[in-house]
């Protein structure tokens, strides 16, 4: 069963229960009020009948006149007055229970009803004799009103349930409309258009969270697909070159069996290409692993200022002559604004690659690392005074194994920045780059504070 139908059915059932309880309360109190009013009219006639029939005083004519002028005779009204110890009159209803008479003998006003026929009675003591005064009458108007009310409540119940079903159906469709839009949008996303994203409306409701969750998943999927495509497209090309060189050098070494110098040169070349092949394989593996976001990448709270000092120490070991300066002038007072929940090893690797490139292409010039937090985002800006990047190469700089045209004199494989980009994207961050050839490069890493 569809969710909309389930919601509608549940809404209708709950509405039916509430309406039935409300109708029951209305019926109970209306029934009680209608009977209470008629009983009071009977009780008034019991007292007046007692004054007219039992008490012999000067007021009897006044009571009789009041009775005839102001109290209308009720439908089927009958008055029964008899001594308590004498047999009951034959014309009185024999169906009156003993509890009715027992309450009368106790000196209380007693009531009883059979369908639409009402009884009220009380005992009076006159001249040391007990008399029972019982008045009976029908109440066709009140009974008919209750019947009409019963019909109205029954019709209203079914009409209300029907309306609640219609309203519930429209309400469920309205509430599930954003979900249907999300499903429709997700169905359009395929392997060839993973760049598409769902529209996330302002707010923090469940639908917005669901759309944002889908977008995060699509980010990871797009990264994984790009990694896979890059791996397949570049692995064959990048691995073929060192393998071809190794194969050629092995043939030269075999032909120069008697020439030790040529064999030494060939073996050295084989060693260099083997090391290059190892670096390429390691880089490809890193790219492949950075395209996934599984449980093997645990996250922890990391102070970014402390991490930058660790990165500085690591890079200084590789480039001893590098001049790395860490700018902490814009740090906030609250330490929580410097703490991210990330995979420390991956984030350290991503920023280390950027800082290492800055040191490598700066030729010993100063490299500045600036840390800043604006409350929602932490930014790490790495600025160097190196060779810079030609404008025609900037758009390709994050492609695996792509190297700028002015880096031929520097050793590298073109995987550092693509690997950093993958890692930053896995942490829902972004990288911005600004460079001018011959002047320097600035790469800014932006990471969301809440992750």
Please compute the mean of the pLDDT values over residues 199-211 and round it to a whole number. 75
Going from the C-alpha of 84 to that of each of 81, 89, 101, 107, 220, the distances in angstroms are: 9, 11, 9, 12, 96
Burial degree of 234 (CB within 10 A; 0-12, 13-18, 19+): buried
Would the pLDDT of 294 be above 50?
Answer: no
Q: Which of 39-53, 92-106, 188-202 is predicted least confidently?
A: 188-202
Q: What letters, b where the CB count within 10 A reaches 16 and e where it falls short, cover 256-266? A: eeeeeeebeeb
Would the pLDDT of 230 be above 80?
Answer: no
Please compute the mean of the pLDDT values over residues 218-226 and round it to a whole number. 75
pTM over 0.85: no
Would the pLDDT of 276 be above 60?
Answer: yes
SS3 49: helix
**CA distance linking residue 383 with residue 377, whole number of Å:** 19
**CA distance linking residue 59 with residue 56, whole number of Å:** 8
Please compute the mean of the pLDDT values over residues 58-79 and round it to a whole number. 64
To the nearest whole percent, how much of the chain has pLDDT over 70? 85
Read off the pLDDT of residues 298-315 as tens digits, 9 standing for 90 and up. 778 889 989 999 999 888
Please compute the mean of the pLDDT values over residues 272-288 and round it to a whole number. 69
Please compute the mean of the pLDDT values over residues 182-193 and round it to a whole number. 76
Would the pLDDT of 90 be above 50?
Answer: yes
**CA distance linking residue 118 with residue 123, whole number of Å:** 17
Q: Which residues are registered as beta bridge partners of 435?
A: 441
Whether the CB-CB separation of 269 and 249 falls below 8 Å is answered with yes
Instruction: Provide the pLDDT for residue 293.
Output: 46
Whether the CB-CB separation of 412 and 356 falls below 8 Å is answered with no
Would the pLDDT of 451 be above 50?
Answer: no
Domains of the chain (ranges, CATH numbers): 3-145 (3.30.450), 207-290 (1.10.287.130), 300-448 (3.30.565.10)
Read off the pLDDT of residues 413-429 as tens digits, 9 standing for 90 and up. 677 788 788 888 878 88
Question: Nearest CA to 226 among 431, 418, 443?
Answer: 418
Tokens standing for residue 294: 């599984």
**Helix orientation angle between 140-188 and 206-255, rounded to the nearest 10 degrees:** 20
Tokens standing for residue 94: 């024999």
Would the pLDDT of 412 be above 90?
Answer: no
Q: In what order do the strands lie in the sheet with 78-83?
A: 78-83, 129-138, 117-126, 110-114
Question: Nearest CA to 123 among 136, 99, 104, 110?
Answer: 104
Mean pLDDT of the chain: 80
**CA distance linking residue 205 with residue 208, whole number of Å:** 5
Helices (H) and strands (E) in the chain, counts: 10, 11
- Contacts of 195-198 with C-beta under 8 Å, sequence gap 24+, read 195/222
């Amino acid at each position: 069963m569809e969710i909309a139908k389930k919601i509608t059915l549940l809404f209708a059932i709950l509405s039916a229960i509430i309406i039935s309880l409300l109708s029951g309360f209305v019926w109970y109190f209306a029934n009680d009020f209608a009977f209470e009013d008629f009983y009071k009219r009977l009780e008034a006639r019991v007292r007046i009948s007692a004054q007219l029939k039992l008490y012999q005083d000067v007021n009897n004519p006044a009571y009789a006149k009041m009775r005839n002028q102001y109290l209308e005779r009720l439908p089927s009204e009958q008055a029964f007055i008899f001594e308590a110890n004498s047999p009951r009159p034959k014309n009185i209803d024999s169906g009156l229970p003993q509890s009715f008479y027992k309450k009368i003998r106790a000196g209380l006003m007693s009531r009883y009803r059979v369908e639409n026929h009402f009884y009220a009675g009380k005992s009076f003591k006159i001249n040391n004799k007990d008399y029972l005064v019982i008045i009976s009458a029908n109440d066709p108007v009140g009974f008919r009103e209750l019947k009409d009310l019963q019909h109205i409540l029954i019709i209203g119940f079914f009409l209300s349930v029907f309306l609640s079903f219609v309203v519930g159906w429209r309400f469920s469709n309205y509430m599930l409309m954003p979900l249907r839009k999300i499903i429709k949008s997700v169905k359009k996303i395929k392997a060839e258009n993973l760049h598409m994203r769902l529209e996330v409306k302002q707010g923090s409701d469940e639908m917005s969270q669901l759309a944002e969750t889908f977008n995060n998943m699509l980010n990871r999927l797009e990264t994984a697909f790009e990694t896979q495509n890059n791996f397949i497209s570049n692995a064959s090309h990048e691995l073929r070159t060192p393998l071809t060189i190794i194969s050629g050098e092995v043939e030269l070494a075999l032909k120069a069996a008697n020439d030790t110098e040529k064999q030494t040169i060939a073996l050295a070349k084989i060693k260099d290409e083997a090391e290059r092949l190892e670096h390429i394989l390691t880089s490809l593996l890193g790219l492949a692993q950075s395209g996934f976001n599984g449980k093997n990448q645990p996250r922890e709270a990391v102070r970014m200022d402390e991490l930058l000092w660790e990165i500085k120490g690591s890079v200084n070991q590789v480039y001893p002559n590098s001049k790395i300066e860490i700018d902490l002038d814009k740090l906030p007072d609250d330490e929580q604004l410097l703490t991210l929940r990330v995979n420390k090893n991956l984030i350290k690797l991503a920023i280390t690659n950027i800082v290492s490139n800055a040191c490598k292409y700066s030729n010993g010039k100063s490299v500045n690392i600036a840390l800043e937090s604006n409350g929602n985002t932490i930014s790490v800006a790495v600025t160097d005074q190196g060779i810079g990047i030609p404008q025609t190469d900037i758009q390709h700089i994050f492609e695996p194994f792509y190297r700028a045209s002015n880096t031929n004199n520097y050793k590298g494989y073109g995987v550092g920045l693509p690997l950093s980009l993958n890692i930053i994207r896995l942490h829902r961050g972004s990288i911005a780059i600004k460079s001018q050839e011959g002047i320097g490069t600035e790469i800014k890493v932006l990471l969301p504070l809440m992750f």
